[in-house]
């Protein structure tokens, strides 16, 4: 088996990706019978590894970025500027200047002041920059509080009553082409997504009645769920039929920005049990991973699906903990597993999205190795940080 083979060569912890699973997800979306012009732009924040980005680019996707770093990596991985969208509620001058000079598809603003900056800088460079406005639709995505982004009172997007479309469309340095929306991540209820799309269509239709406004692109964001403890997902059949209904007879180019859906289930994080500790009435397996390598359980209280490498018939109840000196550094508590021995591998599933991308070097732990396999071939797509890497950029 692939994992056994790789474990002979590399020590844990490492992220292990299956190329076919990423391609399957991309093909699934590409083959949905959507009856309107559309493009999928991968949300790079879900996984910015260059090899993953390059694979996704080769499958015909564009990219959605939220920082100069993500833009740089996307360009490096091969995405064409005209297939890149820049989102984010806190773009710096540096982010904006870089995005403007690269002439990307659209900078979607989330603050009115961004428009002014983009206009002035573009004019100073003799450019006219395509922009979008991210609307805050005040729609609850009915997902976890920590990843909901569509509600009024939140920091995302701009409320419609704050936007002076006429002034923006009269500016010489910007070209308002897009409206965008993204109401959150891990969305199961496709009706919520549709409400946010419908809201955007209505605003665009209204504005397009004006002589000097021509919004031709609607960016519907991402959000398709891949849950950690259930197979429930968006009902894509109904979603697709309703999208077709909503957009029939309209003339918009549609953009979707899926991140998690493309990569989440393509990847496992392989760890090893270092110690088994009896503490009070608990049995705690301490592993060679921590929230530095995979923070989602500690940050969002999700219970990651896990597997143990042995097939012992005896079952015991464990807490699985990392080695960080903090009491939140647990992956899961009170989980029944085949009896664990020191040296067993514990495998976390569904970690391809917001796994490696949210890892850190806290406690000066090297960021882990990443390996990509395709059928029976595999290769390293990120080497483990060395101890010297941990000192890079620091000056005594």
Among 173, 259, 297, 368, binds ligand LLP (CB under 6 A): 259
**Binding residue (CB under 6 A) for ligand LLP from 49, 74, 122, 185:** 185
**Residue 296 interacting with ligand LLP (CB under 6 A):** yes
**Which one of 70, 110, 257, 293 is in contact with ligand LLP (CB under 6 A)?**
257
Nearest to 373 by CA among 134, 45, 17, 8: 17
Residue 243 annotated to the active site:
no
Least distance between ligand LLP and beta carbon 230 (Å): 15
Is the Cβ of residue 7 or residue 358 nearer to ligand LLP in the bound state?
358
Contact between 224 and ligand LLP per CB under 6 A: yes
Of the candidates 26, 43, 115, 183, which one interacts with ligand LLP according to CB under 6 A?
Answer: 43
**Nearest distance, CB of residue 57 and ligand LLP, angstroms:** 17
Size of the site for ligand LLP (CB under 6 A): 20
Q: Examine residue 97 and tell whether it contacts ligand LLP (CB under 6 A).
A: no
CB of 116 to ligand LLP, least distance (A): 22
Active-site residue, selected from the candidate residues 243, 267, 289, 325:
325
Q: How far is the CB of 120 from ligand LLP (least distance, A)?
A: 25
**Residues 219, 181: contact at Cβ < 8 Å?**
yes
Q: Is 150 in the site for ligand LLP (CB under 6 A)?
A: no
Site for ligand LLP in 351-390 (CB under 6 A): 353-354
235 φ/ψ angles, rounded to the nearest 5 degrees: -80, 95
Residue 20 to residue 15: CA distance in whole angstroms: 16
Choose one: 111-119, 258-266, 276-284, 303-311; the region binding ligand LLP (CB under 6 A): 258-266
Bridge partners of 276?
Answer: 285
By beta-carbon proximity to ligand LLP, the closer residue of 223 and 322 is 223
Q: How far apart are CA 320 and CA 322, in angstroms?
A: 7
Asked if residue 80 lies in contact with residue 60, where contact means CB atoms within 8 angstroms, the answer is no
Residue 89 CB, nearest approach to ligand LLP (Å):
9
CB 294 → ligand LLP: shortest distance, Å? Answer: 10
Closest C-alpha to 163, from 112, 108, 211, 119: 112
Distance CA 256, CA 278 (A): 49
Residue 331 binds ligand LLP, judged by CB under 6 A: no
Long-range contacts of 81-85 (CB under 8 A, 24+ apart): 81/105, 83/39, 83/41, 84/41, 85/41, 85/132, 85/180, 85/219, 85/255, 85/257
Among 13, 62, 222, 368, binds ligand LLP (CB under 6 A): 222
Q: Quote the DSSP letter at residue 126.
A: T
CB distance 18 to 373 below 8 Å: yes
Q: Which of 221, 304, 322, 352 binds ligand LLP (CB under 6 A)?
A: 221
List Cβ neighbours of 357 (8 Å cut-off, separation of 6 or more). 45, 46, 47, 48
| Whether 98 contacts 69, CB under 8 Å | no
> Which x/- pattern over 1-40 shows residues binding ligand LLP (rule: CB under 6 A)?
----------------------------------------
Helices of type H across the chain: 2-9, 19-30, 50-58, 68-77, 93-102, 112-124, 165-169, 190-208, 236-247, 260-263, 296-300
- Provide the token pair at 251: 């003339």
Name the residue nearer to ligand LLP (CB basis): 173 or 184: 184
Question: Could you please report the per-residue DSSP string of 144-195?
Answer: -GGGB--STTSSSSB-GGG--HHHHHT-SSEEEEEEE---BSSB--HHHHHH
Of positions 23, 57, 182, 382, contacts ligand LLP by CB under 6 A: 182
Residues recognised as catalytic: 325
User: Given the rule CB under 6 A, which residues bind ligand LLP?
Assistant: 43, 46, 64, 87, 147, 182, 185, 221-224, 257-261, 296, 300, 353-354
């Amino acid at each position: 088996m692939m994992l056994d083979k790789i474990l002979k060569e590399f020590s844990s912890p490492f992220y292990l990706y299956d190329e076919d699973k990423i391609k399957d997800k991309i093909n699934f979306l590409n083959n949905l019978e959507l009856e309107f012009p559309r493009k999928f732009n991968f949300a790079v924040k879900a996984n910015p590894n260059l090899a993953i980005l390059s694979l996704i680019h080769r499958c015909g996707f564009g990219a959605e970025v939220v920082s100069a770093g993500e833009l740089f990596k996307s360009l490096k991985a091969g995405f064409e500027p005209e297939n890149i969208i820049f989102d984010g509620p806190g773009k710096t001058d540096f982010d904006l200047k870089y995005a403007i000079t690269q002439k990307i598809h659209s900078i979607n603003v989330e603050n009115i002041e961004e428009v002014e900056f983009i206009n002035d800088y573009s004019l100073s460079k003799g450019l006219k920059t395509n922009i979008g406005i991210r609307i805050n639709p005040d729609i609850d995505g009915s997902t976890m509080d920590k990843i909901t982004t569509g509600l009024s009172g939140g920091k995302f997007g701009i409320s419609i009553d704050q936007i002076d479309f006429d002034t923006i469309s009269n500016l010489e340095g910007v070209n308002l082409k897009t409206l965008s929306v993204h109401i959150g991540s891990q969305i199961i209820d496709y009706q919520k997504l549709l409400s946010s799309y419908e809201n955007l269509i209505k605003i665009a239709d209204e504005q397009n009645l004006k002589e000097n406004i021509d919004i031709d692109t609607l960016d519907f964001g991402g959000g398709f769920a891949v849950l950690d403890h259930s197979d429930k997902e968006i009902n894509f059949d109904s979603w697709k039929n309703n999208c077709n209904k909503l957009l029939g007879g309209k003339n918009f180019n549609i953009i979707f920005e899926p991140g998690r859906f493309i990569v989440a289930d393509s990847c496992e994080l392989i760890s090893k049990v270092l110690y088994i500790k009896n503490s009070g009435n608990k049995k705690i397996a301490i592993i060679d991973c921590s929230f530095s390598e995979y923070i989602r359980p500690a940050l969002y209280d999700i219970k990651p699906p896990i597997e143990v490498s042995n097939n012992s018939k005896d079952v015991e109840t464990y807490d699985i903990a990392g080695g960080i000196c903090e009491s939140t550094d647990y992956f899961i508590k009170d989980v029944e597993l085949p009896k664990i021995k020191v040296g067993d591998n514990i495998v976390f599933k569904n970690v391809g999205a917001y796994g490696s991308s949210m890892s850190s070097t806290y406690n000066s732990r090297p960021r882990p190795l990443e390996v990509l396999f395709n059928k029976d071939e595999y290769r390293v797509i990120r080497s483990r940080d060395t101890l010297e890497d941990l000192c890079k950029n620091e000056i005594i």
